[in-house]
């Protein structure tokens, strides 16, 4: 009786997984579409601006100014030599692209939530634990989100709101985005935010950022199907390894991020020590007194305590 019940339970799990696998794949597809859509849209806008500069040089040989005005899109009627980048940084097309990307993000979130709720009964996970996982994930996103918001605010003066929403919202790596824009601006003899930062330089910098991000997206689109096949093969031969790999990957990623911060200054070392200590204390208390809510909020508490402590240490020194 026991082997039969075990087999029935495994079959039930496989059936539940098969039902939700389509939802997970659909959500992942929307995620890849969202990123590629953002890269293509921003690149096209920048190409139009660059073509406007080329059209300006060729207007005397090919068309009159009036004919050029009729041929070109209203979005490209700009002055590439002007330092007023806001004329193109806030174009309706860029706003439409930014809103489109975030609409896809919302749709992707809804699909993932539905897929998680659908998969919960198949693995005998109560809905209370599902809701608890959602809350824990929301709290865990506070720290990274704060970092991205601070970086985004600092870049508004350089690229404008739509461009920042598209670039930081898609990639989130301020270092990579700023480095790409800086290199592109330098090749044109200008500096980001400097006197030579014209509309044409802005377009080139924005194009460089978009192409740099596009390579990340293309790599994901090409490698994910290959890795997925390898994952299925590995899960068939040794399921225990597949259970350990995600945990090992997370530990490795966060360890590398932490180690990279330590050599920067003594304040960074103090921040790491304080955050680790607060996190450890919260988890110990949560386990000792069975406080599930404290386990969920431990990361947020560690972030707030660390930020406050580092602020006073930095201002005091």
> Highest-confidence range of 34-48, 56-70, 207-221, by mean pLDDT?
207-221
Q: What mean pLDDT comes out for the span 31-39? A: 54
| 251 and 224 within one domain | no
DSSP label of 122: G
The pLDDT value recorded for residue 269 is 92
pTM: 0.57
- Cβ(203)–Cβ(209) below 8 Å: no
pLDDT in tens, 108-149: 889 989 998 888 888 888 998 888 888 888 877 776 677 677
Q: Tell me how far apart the alpha carbons of residues 148 and 210 are, in angstroms, rounded to a whole number.
A: 18
* Contacts for 48 with CB less than 8 Å, ≥ 6 apart: 73, 75, 76
Q: In 3D, which of 158, 239, 252 has the Cα closest to residue 206?
A: 158
Mean residue pLDDT across the chain:
75
Residue labelled with tokens 């990579």: 176
Q: Tell me how far apart the alpha carbons of residues 246 and 236 are, in angstroms, rounded to a whole number.
A: 16
- Cβ(229)–Cβ(218) below 8 Å: no
| 142 and 96 within one domain | yes
Q: Tell me how far apart the alpha carbons of residues 262 and 271 are, in angstroms, rounded to a whole number.
A: 9
Which of 237, 264, 289 marks a domain boundary?
Answer: 237
Which of 237, 265, 293 marks a domain boundary?
Answer: 237
Q: Tell me how far apart the alpha carbons of residues 196 and 185 are, in angstroms, rounded to a whole number.
A: 9
Q: How many domains does the chain have?
A: 2
The pLDDT value recorded for residue 291 is 87
| 254 and 122 within one domain | no
Angle at 70 between CA 89 and CA 61, to 5 degrees: 100
Q: Tell me how far apart the alpha carbons of residues 212 and 205 are, in angstroms, rounded to a whole number.
A: 11
pLDDT in tens, 68-87: 444 444 444 467 778 788 88
The structure tokens listed for 121 are: 């009964």
The structure tokens listed for 2 are: 């026991």
| 55 and 201 within one domain | yes
Which of 198, 214, 237 marks a domain boundary?
Answer: 237
Question: Which residues span the domain enclosing 113?
Answer: 2-237
| 226 and 269 within one domain | no
Least confident of 39-43, 141-145, 184-188: 39-43
Q: Tell me how far apart the alpha carbons of residues 148 and 150 are, in angstroms, rounded to a whole number.
A: 6
| 249 and 177 within one domain | no
pLDDT in tens, 233-291: 877 888 778 778 878 888 888 888 888 888 988 999 999 999 999 999 999 999 999 88
| 219 and 203 within one domain | yes
| 148 and 171 within one domain | yes
The pLDDT value recorded for residue 28 is 54
Indicate if the pLDDT at residue 4 is higher than 70: no
Indicate if the pLDDT at residue 1 is higher than 80: no
| 273 and 233 within one domain | no
C-alpha distances out from residue 289 to 86, 126, 139, 161, 286, Å: 56, 22, 21, 46, 6
| 178 and 143 within one domain | yes
| 264 and 232 within one domain | no
| 260 and 164 within one domain | no
Q: Tell me how far apart the alpha carbons of residues 247 and 232 are, in angstroms, rounded to a whole number.
A: 18
**Rounded percentage of the chain residues whose pLDDT exceeds 90:** 8
Q: CB-hemisphere CA count at 13 Å for 303?
A: 14
Q: What mean pLDDT comes out for the span 148-173? A: 77
């Amino acid at each position: 009786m026991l082997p039969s019940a075990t087999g029935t339970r495994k079959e039930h799990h496989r059936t539940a997984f098969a039902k939700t696998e389509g939802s997970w794949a659909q959500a992942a597809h929307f995620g890849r579409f969202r990123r590629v859509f953002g890269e293509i849209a921003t690149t096209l806008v920048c190409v139009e601006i660059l073509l406007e500069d080329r059209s300006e040089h060729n207007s005397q040989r090919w068309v009159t100014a009036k004919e050029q005005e009729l041929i070109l899109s209203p979005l490209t009627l700009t002055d590439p030599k002007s330092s007023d980048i806001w004329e193109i940084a806030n174009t309706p097309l860029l706003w439409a692209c930014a809103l489109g990307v975030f609409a896809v993000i919302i749709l992707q979130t809804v699909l993932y939530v539905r897929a998680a709720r659908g998969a919960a009964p198949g693995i005998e996970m109560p809905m209370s634990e599902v809701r608890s996982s959602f809350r824990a994930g929301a709290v865990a996103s506070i720290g990274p989100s704060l970092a991205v918001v601070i970086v985004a605010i600092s870049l508004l003066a350089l690229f404008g709101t739509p461009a920042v929403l598209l670039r930081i919202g898609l990639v989130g790596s301020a270092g990579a985005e700023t480095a790409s824009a800086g290199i592109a601006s330098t090749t044109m003899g200008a500096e980001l935010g400097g006197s030579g930062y014209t509309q044409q330089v802005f377009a080139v910098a924005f194009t460089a950022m978009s192409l740099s991000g596009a390579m990340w997206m293309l790599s994901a689109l090409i490698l994910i199907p290959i890795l997925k096949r390898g994952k299925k093969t590995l899960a068939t031969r040794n399921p225990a390894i597949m259970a350990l790999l995600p945990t090992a990957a997370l530990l490795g990623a966060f360890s590398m991020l932490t180690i990279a911060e330590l050599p920067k200054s003594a304040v960074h070392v103090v921040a790491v020590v304080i955050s680790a200590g607060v996190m450890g204390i919260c988890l110990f208390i949560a386990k000792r007194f069975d406080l599930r809510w404290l386990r969920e909020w431990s990361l947020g508490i560690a972030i707030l305590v660390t930020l406050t402590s580092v602020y006073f240490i930095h201002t005091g020194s």
